[in-house]
Amino acid sequence: MSKASKVNTNVLIIGGGVSGVVAAITGKAFYLNKSFTLIRKESQLIDPCSIPYVFGPLANTSQIQVSDDSLKSMGIAIVTDEVVSIDQNSRVCKTGDGAEVHFDKLILALGSVPKTPDWLEGVHLENVFTIPKDYQYIDKMVTALGDCKEVVIIGGGFVGFEVAYELVQTGKEVTIVEALPYLLGTAFDNEAGSRAQIALERQGIKVKCGTEARGIVGDSRATGVLLSNGSTLPADAIIVATGYRPQTSLAEQAGIQIGDTGAVPVDQYMRTRNPDILAVGDCAETRCFITGRPNHIMLASTACAEARIASINLYRLSAVMTFTGTVPIFCTAVGDTAFGSAGPTERDAKKMKFNVVTATYEGVDKHPRDLPGTHVQAVKLIVARDSGVILGGEVIGGASTGELTNLIGFAIQNRMTVNSVLIGQVGTHSLLTAAPIVYPLIRAAQIIAQRIWTV
């Protein structure tokens, strides 16, 4: 944006990631007469969920760029520039290029950046990487990893899990180091975490759970990771995948409240204390659907829901389209085995102080099991004993795992009980689902309903 220019827009969105784009296109669809401007630092958006596949079947980030076509075709102005300050009183943002943007409504979609564990000695050495949502960084990293044989990934969450699988397919020797006793611990209980570990190990990935990284060794270039058990893992490259933190410095400087989670607290319409300034996506602090306590889950799908709600309610409130709390829904896959989770794990539900009943039913995802491509399908449900309300669920299965997890997610969002699921009608088909008699979601509900019923 040229120096000293002045721009007026009805709605200004800061951030070109998933939540920013969804806020813009949804808002414009509902408020055709308002002008929308999206300002972002990057010249292009990449789909963050697809980053791991750039280390595998996709050549580089050009294949995961999200097109600006839908923004442009709707008449949303896209500005590549950096907002350096927000004045809440005069409703003006200033940019790095010296422009002033006047707005009625401001949507903060500031996103998140990798948590770099600065306490970890050697973390800034050459050949130590993180996974930011930055296509230039990722493309350079792909090139740098080209010559590396041994890769150590610190962190066994979703990013570490998926990147490990893609790298091992390209012939590298990969080791994951995870401090917790299981992989994917934020989303899965021990059984599923343990099966996820077995799925990786079958691909030749070494997994060291219950092991902490204590330092990175090497002079200028990293050569290994010092572990809590005293040994050193040799490495040609190290990937630190220990989570993300919200980017909120711009908001903080503008006097916008920052919550204990480090993100910007919002109401059910995604508004900050200033009702004309909203926050969505990774920079927003929402509340847990189950307990109502502040929380901060960074998921593209949750970010999209938040962005839709923010922009639909910009100028006219809906009494029903409110954000009623975060239901974390995750899914991932290695090879032909997928893992999905919706709502809290059993471990988390117990920490919340629920009296929990759980059951797992394991079957297959097609029927009969002799059909080609049939995969094990196991469903676990986590239920509050007093009411039978479904709090969470986990799925291990094949290609239908994502949508089956979403089915559990909808059950949670509708506060369905095991009774309702047990008598629910589901379509079944030999090639597409489990058999009707043994449909695992219903059978897991049945086991729990029986236990509650016979009390």
129-148: contacts with its own copies (CB under 8 A)? none
The stretch near its own copies (CB under 8 A) out of 143-151, 237-245, 249-257, 321-329 is 321-329
User: Is residue 317 at the binding interface for its own copies, with CB under 8 A as the rule?
Assistant: no
Mark residues 436-455: x for contact with its own copies by CB under 8 A, - for none: xx-x--x---x--xx--xx-
| The only residue of 113, 144, 148, 300 in contact with its own copies, by rule CB under 8 A | 300
The stretch near its own copies (CB under 8 A) out of 7-15, 72-80, 141-149, 401-409 is 401-409
Bridge partner list, 326: 288
Nearer to its own copies, 44 or 301 (CB): 301
Alpha helices in 261-320 (DSSP H): 300-312
| The only residue of 112, 248, 295, 401 in contact with its own copies, by rule CB under 8 A | 401
User: Is residue 403 at the binding interface for its own copies, with CB under 8 A as the rule?
Assistant: yes
| The only residue of 305, 357, 364, 391 in contact with its own copies, by rule CB under 8 A | 305
User: Is residue 47 at the binding interface for its own copies, with CB under 8 A as the rule?
Assistant: yes
CB of 332 to its own copies, least distance (A): 6
DSSP element (H, E) containing 15:
none
User: Is residue 84 at the binding interface for its own copies, with CB under 8 A as the rule?
Assistant: no
Rounded to an integer, what distance in angstroms lies between the CA atom of residue 11 and that of residue 102? 9
Nearer to its own copies, 95 or 289 (CB): 289
Rounded to an integer, what distance in angstroms lies between the CA atom of residue 97 and that of residue 85? 12
Nearer to its own copies, 203 or 450 (CB): 450
CB 278 within 8 A of CB 272: yes
Distance, C-alpha 118 to centroid of its chain: 23
| The only residue of 9, 197, 332, 345 in contact with its own copies, by rule CB under 8 A | 332
| The only residue of 1, 398, 444, 448 in contact with its own copies, by rule CB under 8 A | 398
The stretch near its own copies (CB under 8 A) out of 79-87, 113-121, 136-144, 368-376 is 368-376
* Pairing relationship of beta strands 173-178 and 150-154 according to DSSP bridges: parallel
Give the list of residues 6+ apart from residue 328 with CB closer than 8 angstroms, or none. 186, 187, 297, 299, 302, 341, 342, 343, 344
User: Is residue 407 at the binding interface for its own copies, with CB under 8 A as the rule?
Assistant: yes
Angle of helix 300-312 relative to helix 18-30, nearest 10 degrees, comes to 30
| The only residue of 13, 217, 333, 448 in contact with its own copies, by rule CB under 8 A | 333
Nearer to its own copies, 84 or 321 (CB): 321
Q: Segment 198-227, which members bind its own copies (CB under 8 A)?
A: none
CB of 315 to its own copies, least distance (A): 12
Bridge partner list, 178: 209
User: Is residue 26 at the binding interface for its own copies, with CB under 8 A as the rule?
Assistant: yes
* Structure-token match 């980053």, residue found: 51
User: Is residue 286 at the binding interface for its own copies, with CB under 8 A as the rule?
Assistant: no
Name the CA dihedral angle for 329, 261, 47, 30, rounded to a multiple of 10 degrees.
Answer: 80
Give the list of residues 6+ apart from residue 441 with CB closer than 8 angstroms, or none. 361, 379, 381, 393, 404, 407, 408, 421, 426
| The only residue of 52, 111, 185, 344 in contact with its own copies, by rule CB under 8 A | 52
User: Is residue 55 at the binding interface for its own copies, with CB under 8 A as the rule?
Assistant: no
CB 269 within 8 A of CB 309: yes
- Closest C-alpha among 229, 217, 289, 279 to residue 254: 279
Angle CA 413–417–422, to nearest 5: 115
